[in-house]
Each structure stands twice: as structure tokens, then as C-alpha cells.
Structure 1
Amino acid sequence: MTDHMLAVIGGSGLYEIDGLTDPRWHRVTTPWGDPSDAILTGTLDGLRMAFLPRHGRGHVHSPTDVPYRANIDALKQLGATHVLSVSACGSFREEMAPGDFVIVDQFIDRTVNREKSFFSQGCVAHVSMAHPTCRALGAAAAEAAQAAGVKVHRGGTYLAMEGPQFSTLAESRMYREHWGCDVIGMTNMPEAKLAREAELHYATVAMVTDYDSWHPDHGEVDVTQIIATLSANTTHAKAMIAGLPGRMAEGCDQACDAALEFAVMTAPDKRDPVLVDRLSTVAGRVLRG
């Protein structure tokens, strides 16, 4: 575990983590702009940690405006090898009740207004997203959450919507009944795609706050109820994070850290040197070869 550095990206309600030894906030500059906030680093029971509040302290960034590329680049600059996304979500399943945690393993991306790749004209790359999360990291998070007394569902499809508005009733029913989605949120795309491009082990813990708008007994989403559930979820999330040291696996059978091995398509002599320079943190392993 000595080579691991776990970065936690905290969603709505999670703006800090406790118990770090030698805590320090860093302002990081990236070629993609500034990240959401300063990044907290430290050590937790021997595990190097980083923490980034996705919406910024005080919740200043809307889901669409989160600087996703800068966030991932900044975390990798600081040495992160693993990224755990902790995010609030709505549920499309009766059994995935408010207060439960879902270890997401699939995504459907319905966002439309976000930069979704570090690569573009001048340096083209295509990474596989068939299995977008790291099973080993997800399993560690599930075990830690269960040890903290949380009901955990292992596996689920996350529908990423643009927001900031919540779903219409028709959309909610479609995602649930026809698309087979399990939870819905506004922030894990393009975050998961960018983490994959950066060759980071990425997993999502979706903390259920509500039943979206499909449930006949719960009606439309009520922000006041969400905030109340968020408070309890945040307490459980911090307990889960505290339980992660010692549960981090040494290996990964998905080769998350080699996602770019055969992904870059542009010939070396055709690559834009300016873009290649911007990619030095996230893709330097393959571009320097």
C-alpha cells in the first residue's frame, strides 16, 4: 500500500475529511484551469490521502461548471493513484433507499455541455469505457461502508444528467423502466472518463438521498429532505473513508493504470506539441515513450 495515494472527491455535503496526519491545503495550477478548490493532503493510518471538494467549499460550482479536467489533472499532479468519488444521488429502485450506498459499476452519460476528454485534434486517443470503475477500489469502499454500518448495494448503473434541474416525471420513469438505471446524479460524468484517460483507479460511491420523482409514495424531489439525508450520509461517508486504510488492494486485475497503453492514435510526428505539453501529467507515461 505504500505506493498508493487515495484521492477522495467529495460531492454535495462532503466538504472535508477528518483524522489526517500532517494536513495541508494545496493550490494547484493545471493546463486546464484551476480545480474546484484547494486540495487537502495528509496521511490516514499509513495511507497517503488527498481530498478535493468537487463543488468547492461553500458549494460554489454547479454540476455543469465543475472544472473536471483541472480536478483530475491536479490530483494526479499531487501523486494520486486512486480516486474515490463520493456523490449524492437519487434512486430508481425501491430497495436502494435513502441512506443506502451504491457501489456504481456502470454509467449512462446524458450530459451535453462539458469537456469530456483531455485529448483532441493534434493528439487523438480512444480509451475503453466498457468497465469504467475499478473493482478492487469499489470492493474496498463497500467493505469499509459496511463496517461503518451502512447498507451497501454492490453494482448499479448511474445515469449522469446535465442538471442543474432535477428530472421530469417522464424522464424519471424512462430512466427507471426502459433504460434500466439504478441511480441518478449530475457529476460523475465526465469525471469517470477523465480519470480513465489519466490512468487512475476510479470508483464511485453513490449515496442515496431520495427517489427522484418516479416513486408514487414520495412525490417530487424535495431539497429540504435531501439536505436532511445528506447530513446522515456525510457522517457515514466519513466513517467509510476512515475505514479504507488497510482495505486497499495491492493489485488491480483491470490494468486501470495502463488504460492508455494502446489508446493514442496520432502518429508521434503528427502530434501537436502544445497539446502534448498540456497532457504531460495525465498521459506523459505513453507520450514520452
Structure 2
Amino acid sequence: MNAAALSGSDFAVIGGTGMNQWPGLEIERRLAAETPFGAPSAPLLLGRVGAARAWFLARHGEGHKLPPHAINYRANLWALHAQGVQRVVAIAAVGAIAEWFTPGEIALPEDLIDYTWGREHSFSDGREGSALRHVEFTQPYSPQLREQLRSAAARCQVTVAGAGVMAVTQGPRLETAAEIRRLRRDGADMVGMTGMPEAALAAELGMDYACLAVSVNWAAGVKGLGDIHAEIAQSVELGMRKVRAVLAAMLDA
């Protein structure tokens, strides 16, 4: 992907915990969008990183106020799609289950397991005018977009710790040690709270979707019982520096 391909504003970043703003994005336009599903979490921001243009949306709202289960995922994805966005990179702060995913490292998950409930998870909701669609979801993360992110990481000399499986839980509370043991048995390598229904909604809209996951702490019972909030604060800053470097390298290609 090169800057010319992105000049039409078909690329967006959805920022989560630790990236409620995008330092380095020179904002050109602020759009308070409306959708058939209500307002998105925050205004859509259109800006430039170097010569390339991209959209940014703060998933948890301005001021980071919206908990994972209360986010209007449908409005977020619909609003971006309405602006011509076809490629979405979602930033997610996650707890590490796999030993290889040390806090402060980044990963490119290749699959997911959805443990959420009660969220508006589909545009195919039976309302008047909506068609029943069974969307193919074998690969929730776009292989092409993941490869572009991997190549960008290599160019800026940022190590990608691995791929792995993302478990998506309800939140906003963190998990118990027993729950993490269950997720490990299920095959999960990391756990977050916002990957679904975001990924599925992107698939329904035909958008390429990938996740840059930042390990911000060891999940419950994996290692130690230190000050988890201090661990998260330290790891978020380290990991998000890597995320910003990868995004800049991707847009500069």
C-alpha cells in the first residue's frame, strides 16, 4: 500500500486504550457523523501522516469514557464505511496469555474467539429494509492487511512478537484466573474486550480489517500478582510507541 493508494482516504485507524488520540496525525477535518444506528463514539478525524491521508476514530469516545460493552460498534463502522474507508487497522490493548507475548510487545492476531454477549453485533438485525446475510468469517483478520502491517514493522525495525488467537470478553472488568485458564484451554493467546463485534461488522461491510494488539499486562494468573495498573501504564506507553512507528511506516510505503 502506498501513499497514492491512501490519498482517497480509504484507510482508517480505530484507536483504543492507550491510543485515544493519534500523535503525529495532522488533522484536516473533524466530522460529527450520523448513521442509521446513531452517532459513532467520537467525531471522525481526517488528517495526514506525512504525505498520506487517513481517518482516525477514538473507539472509547473523547476522554476515553465508553466501556467496551457500551460502544456503538455499528455506528462506528458504518460511519467510516460511509466516508469510503475500505481498510481498517484496529488498535487493541490486551492481556497476554501466551508466554511469547511479553508486556510491551505487539502482535498481529490471525483468529479470534468471541465471548461477548448482549452487544448489537450485526447490521442484519431484522429491521425493515435489512437483508438476512450469513457473512463468511473464516478469516476475521485480512491476510493482506496483516502482511502490510508486518512489512511496515520490519521496515521500521519493530519486532512483531507473533500472531495468535484473540479472545474477546465482555469487560469492563478484567478476567479471573479460572477464566484465563479456560481461555488458554480454548486456544487463546491474548484477551481483549473490543475486537467483537467490530471485526464482524467490518466483514459485513466488505472492509479489510486487521488488529495491532499491544500486550499491556499478563492476564490473571499467568505471572505474578504485582501492581497490575502500574504494569499496564508502563506497557501501554512502550507498546503504543511501536504502534505509531508501524502505522507511520505503513503510510509512508
TM-score normalised by length of structure 2 = 0.91
What residue in structure 2 maps to residue 201 of structure 1?
Answer: 208
> Which whole-Å CA distance do the structure 1 matches of 2:22 and 2:137 have between them?
30
Provide the alpha-carbon RMSD of the alignment. Answer: 1.7
Matches within 5 A, 1:98-137: 98-121=103-126, 122=128, 123-137=131-145
> For 2:181, which of 162, 173, 195 is the aligned residue?
173
Deviations 1:73-115 (A, max 9, x none): 1111122110000110011111110111110110100000201
- Indicate yes or no: 2:194 matched with 1:187: yes
> For 2:22, which of 17, 35, 41 is the aligned residue?
17
Match of 2:250, SS? Answer: coil
What residue in structure 2 maps to residue 244 of structure 1?
Answer: 250
- Structure 2: gaps spanning 5 or more residues: none
> Which whole-Å CA distance do the structure 2 matches of 1:197 and 1:119 have between them?
9
* Counterpart AA for 2:117: V
- Indicate yes or no: 2:12 matched with 1:7: yes
Aligned length: 245
Instruction: Specify whether residues 116 and 134 from structure 1 end up closer, same or farther in structure 2 by C-alpha distance, changes over 3 A only.
Output: same
Match of 1:153, SS? Answer: coil
Does structure 2 retain, via aligned residues, the 8 Å contact 1:112–1:162?
yes
Matches within 5 A, 1:127-276: 127-176=135-184, 178-215=185-222, 217-219=223-225, 222-247=228-253
> Which whole-Å CA distance do the structure 2 matches of 1:132 and 1:160 have between them?
13
- Structure 1: gaps spanning 5 or more residues: 248-289
Deviations 1:176-208 (A, max 9, x none): 1x1111110000100000000011010011100
* Counterpart AA for 1:245: L
What residue in structure 2 maps to residue 260 of structure 1?
Answer: none
TM-score normalised by length of structure 1 = 0.80
Instruction: Specify whether residues 201 and 213 from structure 1 end up closer, same or farther in structure 2 by C-alpha distance, changes over 3 A only.
Output: same
Match of 1:64, SS? Answer: helix
Aligned-pair identity (%): 32
Moved more, 20-29 or 87-96: 20-29
Does structure 2 retain, via aligned residues, the 8 Å contact 1:103–1:206?
yes
- The Cα of 1:6 is off from its aligned counterpart by 1.1
> For 2:64, which of 59, 63, 70 is the aligned residue?
59
Matches within 5 A, 1:88-99: 88-99=93-104
Deviations 1:221-240 (A, max 9, x none): 71222122112222221111
> Which whole-Å CA distance do the structure 1 matches of 2:226 and 2:95 have between them?
11
> Which whole-Å CA distance do the structure 1 matches of 2:189 and 2:59 have between them?
22
Does structure 2 retain, via aligned residues, the 8 Å contact 1:89–1:185?
yes
Deviations 1:150-181 (A, max 9, x none): 321342100000011111111111111x1111
What residue in structure 2 maps to residue 74 of structure 1?
Answer: 79
Match of 2:61, SS? Answer: coil
Instruction: Specify whether residues 92 and 193 from structure 1 end up closer, same or farther in structure 2 by C-alpha distance, changes over 3 A only.
Output: same
Instruction: Specify whether residues 108 and 235 from structure 1 end up closer, same or farther in structure 2 by C-alpha distance, changes over 3 A only.
Output: same
Match of 2:69, SS? Answer: coil
Does structure 2 retain, via aligned residues, the 8 Å contact 1:213–1:220?
no
Does structure 2 retain, via aligned residues, the 8 Å contact 1:212–1:220?
no
Does structure 2 retain, via aligned residues, the 8 Å contact 1:213–1:221?
no
Does structure 1 retain, via aligned residues, the 8 Å contact 2:20–2:62?
yes
Q: Work out which of the two has the higher radius of gyration on C-alpha atoms and give 1 or 2.
A: 1
> Which whole-Å CA distance do the structure 1 matches of 2:173 and 2:78 have between them?
28
* Counterpart AA for 2:246: M
Match of 1:31, SS? Answer: coil
> Which whole-Å CA distance do the structure 2 matches of 1:91 and 1:54 have between them?
21
Does structure 1 retain, via aligned residues, the 8 Å contact 2:116–2:170?
yes
- The Cα of 1:21 is off from its aligned counterpart by 5.0
Deviations 1:114-150 (A, max 9, x none): 0110012252111011011111111111222344443
